[in-house]
C-alpha cells in the first residue's frame, strides 16, 4: 500500500500530517528544480501555512528527469519528511506540492502554468550550474549551449532562464503582471544573479522580451538545511514507521533557517508564521552562510573523500579535521564577514561543528564534492580575496582549494577513478591530465579564469599557497596533511 490522500488516515498517530485538506489546495507557486532540498525546506514552510490560504500550493517542475514526478504523483504529491539527529527522529507528511511537471516531456505545460495569472511566485533550486552563468563574474555565459538553444527556440526552452523569460513574455502579452522570482540556490546575492542573467538573456532575445522582464522582482534569500540524498535504507525505515510505502521520503536535520528579502509584488504565503525571517537586505546572512557552512562543507568533502571518509560525520572524525575546520571558520573566515548586529557568530560556528557531526545523517562527501568549479568561487575564493586584501594568512582555505584540485583530477590516493561530477570535469582532465608537478597542476587550473577570476589567476601569493598545500597532499596524502595542518604556522598572505 502506498502513501496517498486515501491512506493518510491510516498513518500512526505520532506522524504529523497536513492540517488542511490537500485536495483543496490550488497552485500559486511554480518551483523549478523539485529535488530533495526544496522538499525539505520551502515546501515545508509552505505546508505549515497552507491552512491559512490554500491558494499557495506548489507545482514542482523538474528540468531534467521525470523521477520525482513518477515517485510522487501516484501519492497525490504527499511525501514524508524525516527529521533526525543523534537524539531521535520525527516524521511529518507534507502536502504542499500538488502538481508535478517534467519540462523536457512537456515544456508547453510548464510555460502555461508559469504564465497562468494564479501563479504569483516562481522559485528555483536548480543548483549553481543551472544559472548558466560565469561563476567568477555572476554574468550570463552567452556561449552556454542551453542559452544558445533557448535563444534560437524561445518557445521550447531547456534552461531555467529560458523558461522564465518566455513565461514573462507570455504574461506581458496577456496583460498579466510578472511573477516574483525567488532563487533558493547557494549563490551570493542569488536574486541579483538571477535578475542579471534573466535581464541579459531577455536583451539577447530582443526588445519584446527585454520589456517583459523589466519590472520583475527577484528578492535574494539565504536558505539553510542539510539534506543528504535519500537512500534505500531511508525508504525502508520510513515504510516500516508509516506501515505504507513512500517512494521518495526526504531525510534532514532539525536545523532549518530561511532569511528572505520581502519584495513580493503579487503577495506571498505567510512564511514568517513558519519561522522564516523577512529582512530588507539578506547579503550579510548569505555571505556568512556560504563562507562558513558551505566553505567548510566543500573543504570537508574534498579532504574527507581523499582520506577515505564516505560521509561528513566520518570526515569530522578524522584526526585533526575538527580542529582544521574550526580554525578555518574562526581564524580565516569569520574576520572577513560583515557585522551582523546581535548575531552570535561564535555560537553559529559551534552549531555548525555539531551539525557536521550529526551521526544520524549519512551525507556523502561525494555528493557535496559535485560541481566544485561552480561552488568554489563563493565558498572559498571570495574569502581568500578578502584575506589577501587584508594581508592575512589563508593556509586552511588554500588547502581546501588544493583538495578540490587534487580531487577533480579524477583519481584517488590509491589510483582508483573518482566519479567526478562537474560541468568542467572533461576540461579539467584535459588541462591537468599530463602534468605531474604541483606547480604545473596549479598553473593549469589557474587558466580557468571563469572560476578564479583574472585577479586570483595572476596572484603569486595565492598560487604559491595553493601549490604548497597541493604538494603536501600529493607527497603525504590527505590524512597526514589533515593531521599536521592545524599545527602548522599560518603562511603569511
Ligand atoms: C552542500 C549544501 O551539497 C552541498 O554542496 O554544501 O547543499 C548544504 O548542505 C546546504 O547548503 C545546507 O544549507
Atom of ligand 1 nearest to the CA of 375: 5
CB atoms within 10 A of CB 143: 9
Interval 213-266: pLDDT, tens: 999 999 999 999 999 999 999 999 999 999 999 999 999 999 999 999 999 999
Contact in structure between 16 and 90 (CB atoms under 8 Å): yes
Instruction: Give the pocket of ligand 1 (CB within 6 Å).
Output: 186, 224-226, 293-294, 297, 367-368, 375
**pLDDT for position 486:** 55
Compute the distance from residue 311 Cα to the ligand 1 centre, in Å: 13
Atom of ligand 1 nearest to the CA of 223: 13
Ligand 1, atom 9, lies closest to the CA of 226
The x, y and z cell numbers of residue 287, run together, are 555571505
The residue count of the chain comes to 493
Contact in structure between 170 and 111 (CB atoms under 8 Å): yes
Interval 437-458: pLDDT, tens: 999 999 999 999 999 999 999 9
Radius of gyration of the chain (CA): 23
Compute the distance from residue 29 Cα to the ligand 1 centre, in Å: 23
Atom of ligand 1 nearest to the CA of 37: 7
**pLDDT for position 485:** 67
**pLDDT for position 142:** 98
The x, y and z cell numbers of residue 308, run together, are 577515505
Pocket test for ligand 1, best of 126, 135, 186, 311 (most atoms within 8 A of CB): 186
**pLDDT for position 487:** 47
Helix (DSSP H) and strand (DSSP E) numbers for the chain? 23, 13
Q: What are phi and psi of 449, to 5 degrees?
A: -75, -15
Atom of ligand 1 nearest to the CA of 368: 3
**pLDDT for position 305:** 98
Mean pLDDT of the chain: 96
Contact in structure between 354 and 343 (CB atoms under 8 Å): no
Cβ burial of 86 (10 Å; 0-12, 13-18, 19+) is exposed
Cβ burial of 110 (10 Å; 0-12, 13-18, 19+) is buried
Rounded CA gap, 212 and 196, in Å?
A: 14
For residue 126, CA distances in Å to 183, 276, 433 come to 9, 21, 30
For each of the chain's 493 residues, which pLDDT tens digit applies? 999 999 999 999 999 999 999 999 999 999 999 999 999 999 999 999 999 999 999 999 999 999 999 999 999 999 999 999 989 999 999 999 999 999 999 999 999 999 999 999 999 999 999 999 999 999 999 999 999 999 999 999 999 999 999 999 999 999 999 999 999 999 999 999 999 999 999 999 999 999 999 999 999 999 999 999 999 999 999 999 999 999 999 999 999 999 999 999 999 999 999 999 999 999 999 999 999 999 999 999 999 999 999 999 999 999 999 999 999 999 999 999 998 888 999 999 999 999 999 999 999 999 999 999 999 999 999 999 999 999 999 999 999 999 999 999 999 999 999 999 999 999 999 999 999 999 999 999 999 999 999 999 999 999 999 999 999 999 999 999 999 965 445 444 3
Rounded CA gap, 168 and 218, in Å?
A: 13
Which candidate, 29, 62, 22, 53, places its Cα nearest to that of 43? Answer: 29
Residue whose cell numbers read 579532504: 303
Compute the distance from residue 298 Cα to the ligand 1 centre, in Å: 9
Cβ burial of 452 (10 Å; 0-12, 13-18, 19+) is buried
Contact in structure between 479 and 308 (CB atoms under 8 Å): yes
Amino acid at each position: 500500500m502506498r502513501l496517498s490522500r486515501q491512506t493518510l488516515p491510516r498513518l500512526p498517530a505520532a506522524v504529523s500530517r497536513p492540517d488542511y485538506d490537500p485536495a483543496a489546495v490550488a497552485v500559486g507557486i511554480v518551483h523549478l528544480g523539485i529535488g530533495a532540498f526544496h522538499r525539505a525546506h520551502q515546501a515545508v514552510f509552505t505546508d505549515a501555512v497552507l491552512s491559512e490560504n490554500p491558494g499557495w500550493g506548489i507545482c514542482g517542475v523538474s528540468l531534467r528527469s521525470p523521477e520525482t514526478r513518477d515517485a510522487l504523483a501516484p501519492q497525490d504529491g504527499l511525501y514524508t519528511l524525516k527529521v533526525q539527529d543523534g537524539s531521535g527522529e520525527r516524521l511529518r507528511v507534507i502536502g504542499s506540492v500538488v502538481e508535478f511537471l517534467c519540462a523536457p516531456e512537456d515544456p508547453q505545460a510548464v510555460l502555461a502554468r508559469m504564465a497562468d495569472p494564479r501563479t504569483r511566485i516562481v522559485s528555483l533550486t536548480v543548483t549553481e550550474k543551472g544559472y548558466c552563468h560565469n561563476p567568477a563574474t555572476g554574468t550570463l555565459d552567452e556561449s552556454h549551449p542551453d542559452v544558445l538553444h533557448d535563444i534560437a527556440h524561445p518557445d521550447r526552452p531547456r534552461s531555467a532562464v529560458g523558461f522564465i523569460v518566455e513565461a514573462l513574455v507570455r504574461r506581458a502579452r496577456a496583460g498579466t503582471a510578472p511573477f516574483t522570482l525567488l532563487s533558493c540556490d547557494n549563490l551570493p546575492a542569488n536574486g541579483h544573479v538571477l535578475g542579471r542573467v534573466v535581464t541579459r538573456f531577455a536583451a539577447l532575445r530582443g526588445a519584446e522580451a527585454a520589456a517583459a522582464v523589466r519590472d520583475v522582482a527577484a528578492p535574494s534569500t539565504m536558505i539553510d538545511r542539510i539534506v543528504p540524498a535519500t537512500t534505500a535504507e531511508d525508504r525502508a525505515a520510513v515504510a516500516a514507521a508509516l506501515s505504507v510505502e513512500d517512494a521518495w521520503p526526504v531525510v534532514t536535520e532539525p536545523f532549518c533557517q530561511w532569511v528572505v528579502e520581502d519584495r513580493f509584488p503579487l503577495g506571498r504565503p505567510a512564511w514568517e508564521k513558519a519561522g522564516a525571517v523577512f529582512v530588507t537586505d539578506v547579503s550579510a546572512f548569505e555571505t556568512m552562510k556560504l563562507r562558513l557552512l558551505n566553505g567548510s562543507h566543500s573543504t570537508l568533502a574534498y579532504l574527507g573523500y581523499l582520506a577515505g571518509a564516505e560521509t561528513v560525520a566520518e570526515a569530522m572524525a578524522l584526526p585533526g579535521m575538527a580542529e582544521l575546520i574550526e580554525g578555518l571558520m574562526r581564524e580565516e573566515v569569520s574576520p572577513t564577514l560583515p557585522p551582523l548586529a546581535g548575531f552570535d557568530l561564535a555560537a553559529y560556528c559551534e552549531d555548525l561543528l555539531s551539525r557536521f557531526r550529526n551521526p544520524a545523517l549519512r551525507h556523502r562527501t561525494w555528493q557535496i564534492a559535485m560541481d566544485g568549479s561552480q561552488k568554489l568561487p563563493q565558498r572559498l575564493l571570495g574569502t581568500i580575496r578578502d584575506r589577501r586584501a587584508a594581508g592575512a594568512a589563508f593556509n586552511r582555505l588554500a588547502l581546501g582549494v588544493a583538495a578540490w584540485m587534487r580531487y577533480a583530477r579524477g583519481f584517488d590516493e590509491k589510483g582508483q577513478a573518482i566519479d567526478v561530477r562537474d560541468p568542467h570535469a572533461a576540461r579539467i582532465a584535459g588541462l591537468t591530465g599530463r602534468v605531474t608537478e604541483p606547480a604545473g597542476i596549479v598553473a593549469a587550473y589557474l587558466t580557468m579564469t571563469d572560476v578564479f577570476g583574472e585577479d586570483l589567476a595572476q596572484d603569486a601569493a595565492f598560487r604559491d599557497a595553493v601549490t604548497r598545500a597541493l604538494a603536501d597532499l600529493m607527497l603525504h596524502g590527505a590524512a597526514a596533511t589533515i593531521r599536521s595542518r592545524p599545527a602548522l604556522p599560518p603562511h603569511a598572505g
